[in-house]
Amino acid sequence: MIVLHGSPRRGGNSDTLADYFVKGVREAGEVEVLDFILNDMNIRSCQGCESCATSEGHRCAIDDDMQEIHAVFADANIVVWATPICTGGI
């Protein structure tokens, strides 16, 4: 299982909910959980070069921290996205 923390605000609502979820999963059994705090990682935007679609091995041309996520994403049984919903400051 991988958990992607998408909020830039550590300790905010999304981050806190993800932390409680991970804690519950770990307490419930022997599930490997990989936590990724996306805002703390060096991840660049897609450049639309299509290297991932056309290169041998389908590897992204950008060598950043996203490679860590790519390495485990396809094999993950569960992917959890924890991201805030921002609606005009409400």
Statement: the pTM of the whole predicted model exceeds 0.85: no
Tell me 11's DSSP state: T
With a pLDDT cut of 90, the percent of the chain lying above it is 59
Cβ-Cβ contacts under 8 Å for 79 (sequence gap 6 or more): 1, 2, 4, 73
Check pLDDT > 70 for residue 21: yes
Identify which of 37, 59, 40, 38 has the alpha carbon closest to the alpha carbon of residue 50: 59
pLDDT at 89: 62
pLDDT band at 90 (very low <50, low <70, confident <90, very high): low
What is the SS3 assignment for 14-82?
Answer: HHHHHHHHHHHHHHHCCCCCEEEEHHHCCCCCCCCCCHHHHCCCCCCCCCCCHHHHHHHHCCCCCEEEE
User: How many residues does this entry show for the chain?
Assistant: 90
